[in-house]
Amino acid sequence: MKTAQRIQGLPPYLFAEIDKKIAKAKAAGIDVINLGIGDPDQPTPPHIVEALQEAVNDPATHRYPVYQGMPAFRQSVASWYNRHKGVALDPDSEIVALIGSKEGLANISQCYVDSGDYNLVPDPGYPVYSIGTMLAGGEVYRMPLLQQNGFLPDLDSIPTEIAQNAKLMFLNYPNNPTGAVAPRSFYEDVVAFARQYDVVICHDAAYSEVAFDNYRPVTFLEIEGAKDVGIEFHSLSKTYNMTGWRLGWAAGNQIVIEALARIKSNVDSGVFSAVQQAGITALEGPQDCIFAMQKLYAERRDVVVEGLHELGWDLERPKAAIYVWAPAPEGCTAQEFAAHVLEKAGVVVTPGIGYGQYGEGYFRISLCVEKEQLITCFRRLKDAGIRYS
């Protein structure tokens, strides 16, 4: 049976391929420590779990949910933005609940992209930005994220003819996979660019609450004029260790939100109401769990950066997100280095090429592993003779 052309051009999902390599290594008797995937290893805070348990016992949650999200959940999101970001949002017209931010990021291209249209996509970047573009029949214009530019796209280098035919620009800060952060001035330039070329900005803020050393990331919606030109995607996954719960939202420009809600109402039936009730508890309840999470990741980040320093890498400590992005040793590709590390040390790192062509020459380490295991990883790397130079 012949699949559709859009499926034939779809690459295997990065982490599915990594899972296959891990399984093969384990079958060969290798004791594998996985530093590849950004899935928090800590449990969801108990008060959120208890809220879900209580909500599940209420028969009212067993019916179809409201497509756009429960009014109470959308009000909680609006209140959270107001408290934490100083951003005013209308819960009725400027917020839509998502089955995790990933599905919203994939679906937004269906709202705006026709065959031949361009989306401006960061490279390296979360693969879903490109995949959603391809599935909508659009073309990907890759914005290189280069170390010399602080892993920020150079807006001035985007060709005028591309910008004039672009529908969406995807951004993600704090950034996956590089761990980079964006200053307020960058977002101001983004708003000006969007106004000039009538481009919808789609900011992925999944890591906005994962920050260290008293650093507070700027979020897109804080910028004057941001709601005029785009939306922000957010998720409870990383903030509250809720990756498996699949709950997030998009917020911002009401025209864009309405379009996304219209697509969703035709292809899914919304988020389970009990999960939304638990999300309300997460957003409105005690936030000390966030500070504990930040402290935990900061300690792990320090172990990774110091371990790499000891092996010859020269890296700055990331200010945010749950990743360390580092160059592969000269003379080998990212995939060759990742394969070597797995074979010789039983350690999984993610090759940067999986995030786009400009990720070649880098690898990503996730901080979603216990501190003791990270220490073990670097002992293995040292014993295996793995060095940067």
Span 99-146, pLDDT tens digits:
999 999 999 999 999 999 999 999 999 999 999 999 999 999 999 999
User: What is the per-residue pLDDT for 9?
Assistant: 74
Mean pLDDT over the full length of the chain? 95
Q: Do 307 and 381 form a contact (C-beta atoms < 8 A)?
A: yes
Residue pair 154/144 in contact by the 8 Å Cβ criterion: yes
What mean pLDDT is predicted for residues 16-42?
Answer: 85
pLDDT tier at 342, thresholds 50, 70, 90: very high
Q: Could you say which DSSP state residue 156 is in? A: G
pLDDT reported for residue 21: 78
Q: What is the mean pLDDT of residues 377-382?
A: 97
- The residue assigned the tokens 């107001």 is 82
Residue 174: asked if its preceding bond is cis (omega within 30°), the reply is: yes
- What is the predicted pLDDT for the residue at 13? 64
**In the structure, what pLDDT confidence band is assigned to residue 19 with cuts at 50, 70 and 90?**
confident
Q: Which CATH architecture has domain 5-43+289-383?
A: Alpha-Beta Complex (3.90)
Which residues make Cβ contacts (< 8 Å) with residue 350, sequence separation at least 6?
Answer: 14, 18, 35, 36, 37, 177, 338, 363, 364, 365, 366
User: How confident is the model at residue 15, as a pLDDT?
Assistant: 66
- The alpha carbons of the chain give a radius of gyration, in whole angstroms, of 21
pLDDT over 90 (residue 60): yes
The mean pLDDT of 309-335, rounded to a whole number, is 96
pLDDT digits (tens, 9 = 90+) for 279-288: 999 999 999 9
Helix (H/G/I), strand (E/B), else coil: 134: helix
Determine whether 373 is exposed, middle or buried from the number of CB atoms within 10 Å of its CB (0-12, 13-18, 19+).
Answer: middle
Percent of the chain at pLDDT above 70?
Answer: 98
Q: Where in the chain is the domain with CATH 3.90.1150.10?
A: 5-43+289-383
State which H helix or E strand residue 198 sits in. Answer: none
Measured over the CA atoms of residue 363, residue 368, residue 374 and residue 377, the dihedral's sign is: negative
CATH 3.40.640.10 maps onto the chain at 46-284
pLDDT greater than 80 at residue 67: yes
Domain boundaries 46-284, CATH class: alpha beta
Q: What is the pLDDT of residue 4?
A: 85
pLDDT of residue 35: 96
Instruction: Answer yes or no: pTM beyond 0.75.
Output: yes
123, β-bridge pairs: 144
Contact at 8 Å (CB) between 237 and 231? no
pLDDT at 174 (0 to 100): 98
> What pLDDT shows up at residue 5?
80
pLDDT tens sequence across 31-41: 899 999 899 99
